[in-house]
Structure 1
Amino acid sequence: MERLIERAIIAGVQLQNDIHFEYEMEELRNLAEACDVEVAGEVRQSLDRVNPAYFVGKGKAEEIRNLYEETEANLVIFNDELSPSQIRNLEEILECKVIDRTMLILDIFSRRAKTREAQVQVELAQLQYLLPRLVGMRASLSRVGGGTSGSSATRGAGETKLELDRRKIEEQITRLRKELTEIGGQRETQRRRRARNAVPVVSLVGYTNAGKSTLMNSLLNETGYAEAKQVFEKDMLFATLETSVRKIELPDNKSFLLSDTVGFVSKLPHHLVQAFRSTLEEARNADLLLHVVDVSAEEYRHMVEVTESTLQAVGVENVPVIYVYNKADKADVQYPKASGDSLWISAKKGEGLDLLLGSIRRHLYADYVTCRLLVPYDRGDIMADLNERAAVLENAYEEEGTVIKAELSPVDYDRFSEFVIGK
């Protein structure tokens, strides 16, 4: 069976002081292409405020219809979230399928979700989006389900299809929320286990396609990991939805967990942000955030603002941040270089990773203690433990035992305190 090729007209309204409109329309085009939709044309309108009935002016809606017919498109995509009544009115006047930016992003997420958690999160967001829009989803939903009896046993048969659909969606939402809570509980158990092991967590955050997965793979390469540990990476919007966690082992027995989270985009649907809340808690509970920025993008400052506001919306606050300005090889900037907690690197070329690892070290291990320990010769277990867990700087063999100069985490310092003889 031949697959229907979707051809779309994209439409947007530029309101006063909307300085990012050009970029957002370009991004809408990229989002459509990420969903395998061919963009056949574009319509724009400048307004003081959106039309409550049609979003655009009625005359502009007629212009969209003419272009739609001219280009033989079969879909119109609007750059903002439409109300249920706007969808209904536009479909009536345009006589074609109308979707908004939110529905488009949800569709991309639905296609890319691989793990059960991501699938549940996306399905929940889709249903929450759909529920208030049932009225606008064409007249077919208002057909009577059949039956007129007033008895409670057959009451459901007499409800309209709209009421039946609404009830079914509400039941699905309840079921999905319960499943997501259970998955979130498992994730929290994993987090508590990691906390007990005192392994610091570094979380990658940033705009979609900023290079977070590429950076994770480059850091794995830099620290000697096999290709099997690498995560999926591709130059496309929302290539990764799942949270990947990898342990990074450093040469001096220090280690940290590196987690990769879902990327952000401007006007990211509210329901989607809330549905992915449990995934984004990886960032909220991190010891350090690496905010990855595509510095080669013209609107990279706007991308930083979008990421920061989204993180704030899910309660990611008071976590130290290193700003990693990636793709510096494609921008007119000097790199690799570091300035405070900002670094300019190229993850693809592996340039600047030493600076990044040095900055991560300064943040994660600032409270480590350098001390001297005296370990009796009959405590080989303690020696083995220290060699495995600590950065051993010096060894000396005395009459009472081995004197070790080592760098310990606060947890290990307490653990080996009976052997500490000085700093």
Structure 2
Amino acid sequence: MLEKKEHNYEKAVLVGLVTKEQSEEKLQEYMDELEFLAFTAGAQVHQRFTQKMSQPDSKTFVGSGKAQEIREYVHANEIGTVIFDDELSPSQLKNLERELEVKIIDRTNLILDIFAQRAQTSYARTQVELAQYEYLLPRLTRMWTHLERQRGGIGMRGPGETEIETDRRIIRDRISLLKEKLKTIDKQMQTQRQNRGKMIRVALVGYTNVGKSTLMNALSKSEVFAEDKLFATLDTTVRKVVIGNLPFLLTDTVGFIRKLPTQLVESFKSTLDEVREADLLVHVVDISHESFEDHINSVHQILTEIGANQKPMIMVFNKIDAFAYEVKEEDDLTPSTRKNISLEEWKRTWMAKNKFPTVFISATSKENFPELKKLLYEEVHKLHIARFPYNDFLFEYFDDEETTS
């Protein structure tokens, strides 16, 4: 578990299920991620509760015996928050609050809370507020119990903290107002994208916390906020980058995550438009993460959902400086596993047959950066030739360290 100073964090426990669709190994991966999400939001995880069930219980998500076990633990240890790894229905939330008598947060609400903390611009705050209201609307009756207690903390930021009299009509009106506001901003952003000239547009995509912002800073020599937490940046950032003497626009986008709330996909439509309208995608992968293959699949799934999966792409395997594996003894005849495959061996697996150009780097130490920049130049150059066949003589690649913003 992550070590944290207890007095700065809410005390929380995690709850997840092993089901027919979700193995015990997969659940542990999700729970590790959920703990990192909780840490990012400001919680200290004291315990994890897991249960094997064919499907979630319709009333309390977990069985009655497990619910009683959780109740006894949270009351004995003064735990204030119970976080569930899946989205709970309004009735499950209501029943669990009655049963456990503590604050109940599901994965969707936790992610929305992190977004509420991280949103910096008016546009991002509007997007998050819309997603929160759409999450709140079917849960309004349940949320009133929180409002009457006037409790703060994780899951309680954002709309309606003190508006006890809020009803469904007011929330629906607010949702309509926010949607109209976003439509206006979307039109403005569409105009901005059209006014960026005829330069090739490159978008950084990838799972959250894979180093996109760090890579953005290294390539553009800018100071985009980067931190070792999930969803460190929400606001789309665009910088002009020049490699050799070939300029292009580089966009840093919000990170993806497994079980991404549908409310966020919809409310962040314009942010995702930056991905849809890009000429080239740079898919950044944290190769030091034990679940990086699952992260790749999650990103491809979301790209498919937003209609951006057919775009030209470069695969950038980042954080090679943090990659570690267990060295097998020479006489060890046991089959190789994910934990004892070296980086060189990974490169000879499916990665070598990957249909996309691939490079292995460290955005922090800039290891293999010349190779990355050459690859970026080549791919942008191809797109530039296709768009402006008569301007090709203006550009040539030269290996230098001059990457300007």
After TM superposition, the score normalised by the length of structure 1 is 0.77
- SS of the equivalent of 1:350 reads coil
Q: Which residue of 2 aligns with 1:83?
A: 89
1:47 to 36, 45, 53: 53
Q: Give ranges in structure 2 of 5+ residues lacking alignment.
A: 1-6, 149-162, 324-341, 398-405
Moved over 3 A (4+): 138-142, 161-164, 337-340
Q: Structure 1 4/136 Cα, relative in aligned 2: closer, same or farther at 3 Å?
A: farther
Counterparts of 1:210-289 in structure 2 under 5 Å?
210-220=210-220, 225=221, 229-252=222-245, 254-289=246-281
Counterpart CA distance in 2 for 1:36 and 1:164 is: 27
Closer, same or farther: CA 363–34 of 1 in aligned 2, 3 Å: same
1:203·1:260 contact (CA, 8 Å) conserved in 2? yes
Question: Given the alignment of the two structures, is residue 12 of structure 1 paired with residue 39 of structure 2, yes or no?
Answer: no
Any residues of structure 2 matched to 1:300-339 within 5 Å, and which? 300-331=292-323, 332-334=342-344
In structure 2, what is the Cα distance between the partners aligned to 1:73 and 1:328? 38
Give, in angstroms, the shift of residue 103 of structure 1.
Answer: 0.5
Cα distance in 2 for partners of 1:103, 1:71 equals 24
CA distance in 2, matches of 1:357, 1:6: 44
- Could you tell me which amino acid in structure 2 is paired with residue 239 of structure 1? A
Alignment of 1:208 onto 2:187: no
1:100 aligns with one of 100, 106, 110: 106
**CA deviation digits over 1:135-189, x for unaligned, max 9?**
32356889xxxxxxxxxxxxxxxxxx99951111111111111111111111100
Displacement of 1:192: 1.2
CA-CA distance at 1:14 after TM superposition: 1.4
Take 1:79 and 1:85, find their aligned partners in 2: how far apart are those partners?
A: 17
Letter in 2 for 1:319: K
Shift in Å at residue 115 of structure 1? 0.6
3-state SS of paired residue (1:365): helix
Distance 2:111 2:94 in 1: 20
Report the Cα offset of residue 362 of structure 1. Answer: 2.0
Query: 1:26 maps to which residue?
Result: 32
Is the Cα contact below 8 Å between 1:88 and 1:138 reproduced in 2?
no
Deviations 1:356-379 (A, max 9, x none): 22222222212639x9x9xxxxxx
Cα distance between partner residues in 2 of 1:209 and 1:79: 19
User: What is the one-letter code of the residue matched to 1:134?
Assistant: L
1:356 matched to 2:372? The reply is: yes
CA distance in 1, matches of 2:377, 2:146: 61
TM-score by length of 2: 0.80
2:176 is aligned, of 171, 174, 177, to 174
For residue 329 of structure 1, report the CA deviation from its aligned partner. Answer: 1.7
Residues 274, 314 of structure 1: 8 Å contact kept: no
The equivalent of 1:73 in structure 2 is: 79
Native 8 Å contact 2:243 2:373 kept in 1:
no
**Paired residue for 1:191?**
193
Relative contact order, higher structure (CA 8 A, sep 6+): 2
Deviation at residue 251 of structure 1 after TM alignment: 2.9
Decide whether aligned partners of structure 1 residues 392 and 311 sit closer, same or farther in structure 2, where only a CA change above 3 A counts. Answer: closer
CA separation in 2, counterparts of 1:314 and 1:163? 37
1:290 to 270, 275, 282: 282
Secondary structure of the 2:193 match is helix
The one-character-per-residue Cα deviations of 1:258-292 (angstroms, maximum 9, x if unpaired) are: 00000011111110111111001111111100000
- Provide the C-alpha distance between the structure 2 equivalents of 1:49 and 1:392, rounded to a whole number of angstroms: 59
Give the Å deviation of 1:5. Answer: 4.8
Match of 1:109 in 2: 115
- Per the TM alignment, residue 17 of structure 1 is displaced from its structure 2 partner at its CA by 4.0
CA RMSD of aligned residues (A): 2.7
Question: Is the 1:205–1:291 Cα contact (8 Å) retained in structure 2?
Answer: yes
Matched, 1:341 2:345: no
Between Structure 1 and Structure 2, which shows a larger proportion of strand residues? 1
1:63, CA displacement in angstroms? 0.5
Say whether the 8 Å CA contact 1:8–1:40 is kept in structure 2: yes
CA distance in 1, matches of 2:102, 2:130: 26
Q: 1:392 to 1:94 in 2, by over 3 A?
A: closer
What letter matches 1:322 in structure 2?
I
Between structure 1 and structure 2, the one with the greater Rg is 1
1:323-342: CA deviation from partner (whole Å, max 9, x where unpaired): 1110112224149x895611
**Aligned residue for 1:390?**
394
Q: How many residues are aligned here?
A: 349
